[in-house]
Amino acid sequence: MELLAFVVFGLAALVSAIVVVAHRSPIHSTLSLVVTLVSTAALFLMLGSPFLAALQVLLYTGAILVLFLFVIMLLNVQRERTGAAARSPFQTWSALIAAFVLAGAVCRLLWDAHGEAVLAPLTEDFVALRNTASLLFRDYLLPFEMVGLLLLVAVVVASWVARRGGADSEEESR
Amino acid sequence: MSPETLAALAKMGLWLAFLINVAPIMLWVERRAPAFMQDRLGPNRVGPLGFFQGIADAAKFIFKEDIEPATADRGLYLLAPVLALVPCLTTYLVIPFGPDIEVAGRTMASVVIDSDSGIFVFLALASLGVYSLVLAGWASNNKWSLIGAIRASAQMISYELALTLAVVAALVPAGSLHLGRVVDYQIGERLFGFLPAWGVLVQPIGFLVFLVAMFAETNRLPFDLPEAESELVAGYHTEYGSIRFALFFMGEYMAMAVLSALAATLYFGGWSLPGVDLMQLPGVLPALVGFVILTVKVAIFMFLFVWVRWTFPRFRYDQLMRLGWKVLLPLALANLVYVAALAVGGKL
């Protein structure tokens, strides 16, 4: 039963991930990404961490991808749909290199897991909510807060850039 | 089948029996109540007091011709109404409806998923509700639908923040994400020695923020801008008819019912009544009576939804955004700080 669920969600995640890259319509790509993320959330659930699964659905599919959809719907998607938006060779090559690096890292991890160095197994205790919380807010408090600050800086800069670029149109709309 | 599976199925059956009946009953209430508010009678021909109007309407929806726009994105167009039911048919799983009961020698929690991350599961599944609106609007290939969809996505994202912050503050006194523990806290504690420690008394501002955000999340007036019939024909469901429209309709009422149940759980003591000890009852009765008490509280909220709908006019879109970001969000944050200060100061 558990194996069946793993196979179903694993396959769903893989297939939809391929669709994300391969599909011509941005809306369908985004929706496939939703399927990918929900399937991975299901895998998290099977690993015994409902908290992580819920967080993934809440943040990624519930908030971030809705914003993606929002932006795509606001833009004129007809042009991209016909495939006129060509990819530059630089994009292709950097994507290929990144993919190889990632594949290498995953292979290395798998190798380690089956070789001498044994990765620490996930325990019920480790994924429990209380322990996750104390890890975040006690052991790694400073890095956690710094990530928050980093995100804040990113938001401020992004809104500044948007404001500067759209200064004229904003004047008009007032 | 194992006893655990059977128990889970029984509990889900109880909830489903409740949720399936929400839409037809609310359909009747939504017509009769405003009729009396406006000094007229409303539908009173089908059954006693017109109570079977809901059944007549359901039959009408089922037998109506199902028209599909030729330019629609067919797959997504058919998927959207089904998605409308997903959040409301999953989120009830984590809402407790009674004390732990003893059945055949083993203790059983009166909640389907007895998990420490309960409220997170609720919020995560509820956040998927926006997809049905957005996809319906986009796939219909109609400008009114699209505007409705864009409004829906912006509105629901904006008010989700305030809603979530209010929920976080409501969890602080109990110190748990498990909704059962939140109810236990409200039963166990007393304010000033005599008042029940209901969330609404501990943090009235938090409840107010939750209430307003709840109306916005369910797209009810005065926040029904995604459908705004006087501006957008019918918004995101303009191109839907027959049973597909009925699915959106049912989804809206079920979402209202489930969110009302959450509001009752967080702010009004959930399945409990002050001064009533359900544990005195034998067998599975504590859970059943708890469910009835919760249902009554939900019914009061549902009436509030109808009452507000027929009392207030619709917001303008910029007013809606201003209220969400400049009023509700700071209020929710201030409430969180206030509750956290009370908790740290040992006053809770």
Helix then strand then coil, % of chain A, to nearest 5: 85, 0, 15
Q: Give me the residues of A, 76-115, that contact B with CB < 8 A.
A: none
Query: For residue B1, is it within any domain?
Result: no
Using alpha carbons only, give the angle A98, A99, A102 rounded to the nearest 5 degrees: 85
Q: Given the DSSP bridges, would you call strands B195-196 and B190-191 parallel, antiparallel or unpaired?
A: antiparallel
Which letter does DSSP use for residue A24 in this model?
A: S
**Closest chain B CA to residue A74:** B150
B338 within some domain: yes
Alpha-carbon span B76 to A38, nearest angstrom: 18
Q: Does domain A1-86 have CATH number 3.40.50.360?
A: no
Nearest CA to CA, how far is B67 from chain A (Å)? 24
The residue extents of the domains of chain A are 1-86, 90-124, 128-169
- Nearest CA-CA partner of B77 in B23, B33, B139: B139
B216 within a domain of the structure (yes/no): yes
Distance between A141 CA and the closest CA of chain B, angstroms: 18
Question: What's the mean pLDDT in A26-37?
Answer: 88
Using a CB–CB cutoff of 8 Å, tell me whether B307 touches chain A: no
Tell me if B49 is assigned to some domain: no
**Can you give the residue range of the structural domain that contains B13?**
8-37+59-344
- The predicted-structure confidence for A43-95, as pLDDT tens digits, reads as follows 888 877 778 888 888 888 888 888 888 888 777 655 555 454 566 788 888 98
With respect to residue B130, please indicate whether it lies within any of the assigned structural domains: yes
pTM of the predicted structure, to 2 decimals: 0.83
Tell me the residue ranges of DSSP E strands in chain B.
101-103, 106-108, 190-191, 195-196
What digits encode the pLDDT tens for the residues B138-182?
888 888 888 888 888 888 888 888 999 999 998 888 888 888 888
Inform me whether the C-beta atom of residue A129 falls under 8 Å from chain B C-beta atoms. yes
Q: How far apart are CA B207 and CA B151, in angstroms?
A: 25
Query: Does B46 fall in a domain?
Result: no
Overall number of domains in chain B: 1
DSSP state letters, B120-152: HHHHHHHTTHHHHHHHHHHHTT-HHHHHHHHHH
The DSSP-derived string for B330-345 is HHHHHHHHHHHHHHHT
Interface probe with A: pick from B1, B112, B125, B127, most Cβ of A within 10 Å: B127
- Does the beta carbon of A132 lie under 8 angstroms from any beta carbon of chain B? no
β B106-108/B190-191 pair status: unpaired
ipTM: 0.77
* Residues B332, B209 contacting (CB under 8 angstroms): yes
Q: Among A58, A70, A129, select the one facing B150 at the smallest CB separation.
A: A70
Q: What are phi and psi of B290, to 5 degrees?
A: -60, -40
Q: Is residue B43 part of a domain?
A: no
Please list the pLDDT of chain B residue by residue as tens digits (348 residues): 787 788 888 888 888 888 888 888 888 888 888 888 888 888 888 878 888 888 888 888 888 888 888 877 788 888 888 888 888 888 888 888 888 887 777 777 788 888 777 888 888 888 888 888 888 888 888 888 888 888 888 888 888 889 999 999 988 888 888 888 888 888 877 777 777 878 888 888 999 999 999 998 888 878 887 777 777 777 788 888 788 888 888 888 998 999 999 999 989 888 888 877 777 777 778 888 888 889 999 999 999 999 998 888 888 888 888 888 899 999 999 999 998 898 888 776
Cross-chain residue pair B128–A57, CB shorter than 8 Å: yes
Q: Quick check: B123 contacting A, CB < 8 Å? A: yes
